[in-house]
Structure 1
Amino acid sequence: MTQDELIQLLSAHEWTDVEFKEARQAVPKNAYETVSAFANTAGGHLVFGVKKDGARFEVVGVLDVDKVQNEFVSTLRQKEKISLIINVEEHLHNIDGNDLLVFYVPEATRAEKPVFLNKDIRKAFIRKGGADVRCSQEEIQRLINDASADRYDGQIIEFDLQSCFDPSTISWYRNVYERKPGNRSYADKNDIEFLFELGLIRETQQGWKASRASILLFGRDGSFRDIMPRPVADCQRFGTVFGEYTPGSRWADRIVLDFNLIRSWQSLLDWYQKVATTPFHVDPTTMQRTDMPPDYIAFRESVINVLIHQDYADHSRKPEIRHFTDRTIFWNPGDAFASFADLLEPGEKEVRNPRIVTAFRRIGLSENAGWGLRDVFTNWQQLGNVPPVIHNDKATKTFELVLPKELLLSEEQIMFQAQLGVHLDPDAARLFAYICREKEISVADAKAVLAQSTAQSLVKLQYLLNQALIKEIEPESFYGLAEHLLSRFPSDQPSDQVGGRLVTPSTDQPQVSIPDTTPPRLELSEHHRAVIRLCEIPRSAGDLMGELGLSHRTFFRSTVLEPLLAGGLIQQTHPELPNHPKQAYVLTEAGLRLSELMRTQGQTQNDDNQRI
């Protein structure tokens, strides 16, 4: 059988990574390499009793379960064999009379990495492409840097305090700081005393010393480049969609930020004026917005994440911000310590650069939890877009955030939902549209779409289940589009995935052709669109014909009214009496949704024309 078939057989929808070993009579030595790799990356499942032959898998079973299990578990508790005592979750499965041992190896904490074998740190492994790969020296050093109790941005730098800082940058920051409600005033302090009060200058036995954070935030160009030999970020704007991009594509506009973080933030705001959805103005004194384009919050938090969460100890890779007409991509060296699901939960998060994070927070440029992803997702939801996509790669220690400029409730999707004849509130409509797009989602995905809690997301999923629009793949974990709707949305192209997961369709059932029971698509004519715009309030047929300049009632009814009625976009005010003398037509809930979309698209086009 294939790996997918075996995983499906073990009902392992929640597995993000899995490795199979034969281990019939003893634990193979390379099993411990897998343990090291799982612990250093994102965790995973190790299955004993499966023989791999190329792409095929054969269940052979473990002959002596107790012996193999005891040998494996006891070795994981011997410090001379592995640097960290690993507490695995154990499960026994039986398939056709063959016993399989399944162990879940959790990810180690930041402070526990790297996990290595035989007291040799060079024998540390990570997972890449479903394989165990020995860490390079550079990868080991990144793990060691992240594990340090003394965070990198808090380390002492032997610079002259009187000459290493940029006074204009500090002056701007202090002005914003003093204006922010709730901050303790330090207006009577000089610049050095001010930075000391904020914890950016540290007291040592040799006196006050600059921290790396203070230089990264406020350093003069020479001081800054002394400790940061690479750019803070490389920002590129392309005049095409992402699909037309190739590695050699020429950017339309580019800025390379190789100065302190406060100046970098100011430069990024200037750059944003060129890519913003609508024109805006910035107060030159506070660098705060005096008006607000719709995507500003998402842009602000995404950019701040690049500035405050990147790995400043990594001098070989530079962050990139690439803006396309259909998406913006923010890429960082340095992964998030938290999981995708945890990043969207309220509460404090462990961060790589706590002093830098706190400094930005004190002037209102970072949410209290240290990550602004909840604000990003909420803002993107308010804009009606497909949810942002996160790739938190713990193997390469990189973080990528993608903001796709694609409407989740498109015109086609709104009309499709109207034809189904079910009532969907705005949240349920968005969630169903996302399931139509992805075919299968997790509860974590639902939370991302709705920007709501697990409990609230499960309520919406249950409602869609009750309406027979989706199916439950795994209770309260994974859901998919209902079988009778799959043919309307064929899976013929890959889609961006939010978070890591492994969900496979069942293959042990006979494949059958499922008829498409949904009505045919309605192609909207200009007359249809005009009626939709007019029917936000009840309108008679005569009124509508007059507005459209039509005189043939039968033609109007058969080509305009009846398709809109059948499509669920308009309804009669007296549906029980079709020939009622005061019969009028008004938008349904789906029709109102489509009307709002048409209005928004029209406004966006006007804004684009004004910018041109």
Structure 2
Amino acid sequence: MHSRPSTEDQHLEFKRELNDKLEKEVVAFLNSRDGGVILLGVDDSGQVLGLDDVDGLQLQIKDRLKHNIMPSTMGLFDLAVEKQDGKTLIKLIVASGSEKPYYLSKMGMSAKGCFIRIGSASEPMPIAMIEDLFSRRLRNSIGAMASRRQNLHFEQLKIYYAETLYTLNDQFAHNLELLTRTGDYNYAAYLLADQNGCSIKVAKYAGTTRVELIENEEYGYCCLVKATKAVLEKLRIENKTFTKITASKRLEQKLIDPVALREAVINAIIHNDFSHEVPPKFELFADRLEITSTGTLPPGFNQQEFFLGFSVPHNKELMRVFKDLDLVEQMGSGIIRILQHYPPSIYQFSQHFIRVVLPYAEGYYLAQEARDPANDQVTPQATPQATPQATPQATPQASKVLDYCVTPKSRAEIQAYLGLKDREYFRKQILLPLIDAGLLQLSMPDKPSSPKQKYKTLIEVICNEKTIP
């Protein structure tokens, strides 16, 4: 729910009711660097008044934005109904468009039709700015690119739409903006068709590097919606539940937060720069998931704005379809959901790619799974049960050791990590009790005094019926 409104600013506009200035405000946000929000049912002072017939008003808004603004706004705005002080509001979320300048259809691309957000006001756009934006308008969008094949079929897409409140009629290609200006299928149509050349790879490695590839699955050559659902299901299965047994309690947690995982997958696909014909890539390691998508932040759009959730859809045609099919929720909310569970540092930006690295849950590590050759079933490694009495110290230092040693560490590394100089104290008071309690295992149990000896926290992998291959 949106926090209680206070004052209008560069990103927020109040309207007590739906009036004839709506399109002007939307155009200004479309032409701004990071879009904005219009709250209907709130007066200029921020007082909540509420609205009647919000369903009818939403239909009016959609129709007006569709027909009264150019270029197309489809996939660039979102509507939500909210409650404030017991009264009903409409929240109109507007993304920054990639085909600037946007303008009022009846006024054309002129100072009377183009607007820009300056502070809390929508001002006419100078002619020089209109000409500059038009000259730099993105021309290689998947909506403008013609499909390499024109003999396309969309039975899979029709099936997905049949499961929603929407239906696809004979004009669906036009309504979903799957045609170029010349009437040919565009590249968005190609990606959503039953057959295409786009394939999304999900690779799995044995360790923490790309040295030993153990699995390489491809999901594609079909409707992008179908491929996306297949990738989501594959990663859901891989997202096992782990149990770590400490001196005081038993902890259970998913490898990756499920909400963040879903949002990261959808974002990587929906915002991938398909104009380069390079799909996103998903790589599972022993300690993390890496998702790499083609493209980078739009010109003039910085990382701070990205992390604040401002939305600049790169593929508005795909955004529209994914939104219709409930694969995308409220516009601009995906990054916010991810950052509720992970820090911004999981994102890596380069000139041509964006990579998000989702580490497995802190204090957990993917244990080696032993397979029973007789039935090829996954057998979780056994973990000795330990009670608090088995480790008299059960101190914060002991817990730090268990968290630190999810990957094997030497005595010197552990001691340095704890900041302890007394080797004998460390060995007797911390290391040996954890080993005796069965919470730490030796890498070379037959040579306990070896200078190459390392210690690793014992964890248990719980595989339910759905996660066993």
Query: TM-score normalised to the size of structure 2?
Result: 0.45
TM-score normalised by L of structure 1: 0.36
Q: Tell me which structure has the larger Cα radius of gyration.
A: 1
The structure whose RCO (Cα within 8 Å, separation 6+) is larger is 2
